[in-house]
Amino acid sequence: MFSVNFKGRVALVTGAGQGIGKAIAQGFADCGASVAVNDINPQTAALTTGTLAGDARAYVADVGDAAAVAGMVDRVVADFGRLDFLINNAGIEPKVSILDMAADDWRRVLEVNLSAAFYASQAAGRVMRAAGAGVIINIASIAGHNIPLKDRAAYVASKAGMVGFTRECAREFAAYGIRVNAVCPGVIETEMTAHSRANPDQMAKWLEDIPAKRLGIPEDVVGLVLFLCSDAARYLTGQAINVDGGKVML
């Protein structure tokens, strides 16, 4: 596993109650960072926090709620005294066709998967600007490259939007010493893909399409996130990097 010394640094990871966010929180803790564990689910937020070595605290908030996100960032800074890394990871992926999707459900996906990154980046960006440094990572998706995904129109739109937001955020925030990049996972073994993974036809198609000949696991995403947050990536900003076993090559 990629390792870097983040002792004395503070990372806020959204949607860290399970899956990719939980693995990222673990990765930061293993590197010595203090970790603010966000989730909308209080039980899983507490469970993740309990597994982390070092200073870790749970922050239960809906990332789709602008006021809740601003309040959370204020509390993290009050509790830890600083905020070095923001990982916008929380996401939802309802499966429904465009013709059947309710407008409220469309809006909810955009709120949680896209607007949340704006809310948190604005709040954290103000803190990081004052400090003159910081790193923001947006967990997008290979779907963020406008790749269609059956019955996931809102998801694809939100992830493509996140890649666009990442680039403009990187441009605006560069003046303040803040780097912003998107990480685009392929198919990762989490709750989000559990239903599709139970389908043998879908599994066979994925394994045919993925040159690495396996699905990813949450830990496969962690090294890239830690690298992008490290000083080794100090000249790297505004990028959207796939971690997908070669499924999509752009």
Ligand X SMILES: NC(=O)c1ccc[n+]([C@@H]2O[C@H](COP(=O)([O-])OP(=O)(O)OC[C@H]3O[C@@H](n4cnc5c(N)ncnc54)[C@H](O)[C@@H]3O)[C@@H](O)[C@H]2O)c1
Name the residue nearer to ligand X (CB basis): 9 or 152.
152
Name the residue nearer to ligand X (CB basis): 34 or 242.
242
- What would the two tokens of residue 101 be? 């999707």
Smallest distance, Å, CB 177 to ligand X? 26
Smallest distance, Å, CB 187 to ligand X? 5
Smallest distance, Å, CB 246 to ligand X? 15
Q: Cα(126)–Cα(120) distance, rounded to whole angstroms?
A: 10
- What would the two tokens of residue 220 be? 């496969």
Name the residue nearer to ligand X (CB basis): 132 or 148.
148
Smallest distance, Å, CB 130 to ligand X? 25
Choosing from 119, 155, 176, 235, the catalytic residue is 155
Name the residue nearer to ligand X (CB basis): 32 or 202.
202
Name the residue nearer to ligand X (CB basis): 104 or 231.
104
Does residue 155 have an active-site annotation?
Answer: yes
CA angle 44–46–47, rounded 5-degree value: 60
Residue in 188, 64, 59, 183 with CA at minimum distance from that of residue 114: 64
Name the residue nearer to ligand X (CB basis): 42 or 54.
42
Q: Cα(187)–Cα(184) distance, rounded to whole angstroms?
A: 10
Smallest distance, Å, CB 7 to ligand X? 26
Smallest distance, Å, CB 112 to ligand X? 4
Residue in 103, 84, 106, 83 with CA at minimum distance from that of residue 94: 106
Residues that bind ligand X (CB under 6 A): 14-15, 17-21, 38-41, 44, 62-64, 89-93, 112, 139, 141, 185, 187-188, 190-193
For the annotated catalytic residues, the residue numbers are: 155
